[in-house]
Amino acid sequence: MKKLAILGTIFLGFTSFRQDLAVENTDNNKILYRGFENKIVLDQFGDDNHSFQIEAINCEVIKPDENRSEDVYIVKTKNKARTATINIVSNGQTIERMAFNVENLPSPSLFWGNSEAGSTISNSAEIVIKYSTGVTLEPNFEIVGWTCSLDDLEFNGQGNLLSQEMLDYTKSMVTGELITIEVKVNATEPYFFY
């Protein structure tokens, strides 16, 4: 296999980009992401859906749509806080306590097959955006278009499959040549359920 460097540039500018709505649960260690709107769904507490109050510590909890059948809330953390807590209170008693670590949202990477941006080319035609190994946040990215620059040539296409013409051209490249792949990405919003 030829050793070629690939460089991925991710454009996340669509108005439908919603990756900033995320809560991660790793090994019972819940994480809220700093500077973003974290979306959570709270299951019903008690017999009456409206019989509880939410107490937020180092964060703000907002119910953006009262008409939804699910109890969907937006959680915004305080910028410098390292932890946040949400208490569910009913009749003056705390009936549920949720503690969170507060972290920066990890940066996603472009993968060509199993090769992460900055490494070698792949025989695969598929490109995907996902998080690096060790991040358990589910990627919800959809590549809607791509442009690949090789030497003085430019290839482009829709979706997450590279064109056969572009793949054939990479076979004639020599070690050390640079491939630049720019992608347009749409993302859906992950939820966390309690």
- Is pTM beyond 0.85? Reply is no
Over range 172-193, report the average pLDDT.
77
Over range 69-97, report the average pLDDT.
86
23-103 belongs to CATH 2.60.40.10: yes
Assess whether pLDDT exceeds 80 at residue 13. no
> Is the pLDDT higher at 41 or at 13?
41
Question: What's the pLDDT at 65?
Answer: 72
Q: Apex CA 35: angle with CA 50 and CA 79, to 5°?
A: 95
Cβ count within 10 A of residue 148: 23
Assess whether pLDDT exceeds 50 at residue 6. no
Question: What's the pLDDT at 46?
Answer: 52
Question: What's the pLDDT at 178?
Answer: 86
